[in-house]
Amino acid sequence: MNITVEYWAQLRTAAGQPFEAIELPAAASLADLLEHVAARHGPALRSVLFDQAGKPRTSNIILVNQEMVRLSECGPLTPNAVVTLLSPMAGG
């Protein structure tokens, strides 16, 4: 199934692009998607998505089809979903 991934803030810099289309197996989960994009873009993106123990960082904001979700509560992704990944921002 085709998924569009949008990257914002540090994740955009780490991925090197603002968005991309990803092809995943049917019934793939959000966790599967995170692993896929981390493997695809290497250590820079992985370090923003995952902590030292390899667990997804809870500080990142994830939206699926413009609705904020928690990784632990998100069921399988649906074809043509848009997943937005946003890392926390600081500044003033």
pLDDT given for residue 12 in this prediction? 96
Ranges of each domain in the chain? 2-86
Residue 88 has pLDDT above 90, yes or no: no
Residue 73 has pLDDT above 90, yes or no: no
Q: What is the mean pLDDT of the chain?
A: 93
Q: What is the band of 72 on the pLDDT scale with cuts at 50, 70, 90? A: confident
Count the helices and strands in the chain (H runs, E runs). Answer: 3, 5
Q: What's the pTM?
A: 0.92
**Helices of type H across the chain:** 10-15, 30-41, 43-49
Q: What is the pLDDT of residues 33-62, one digit of tens each?
A: 999 999 999 999 999 999 999 999 999 999
Residue 92 has pLDDT above 70, yes or no: no
Contact 8, 84 (CB under 8 A): yes
Please choose, from the candidates 19, 20, 37, the residue with its C-alpha nearest in 3D space to the C-alpha of residue 28. Answer: 37
Number of C-beta neighbours around residue 38 at 10 A: 21
CATH topology assigned to domain 2-86: Ubiquitin-like (UB roll) (3.10.20)
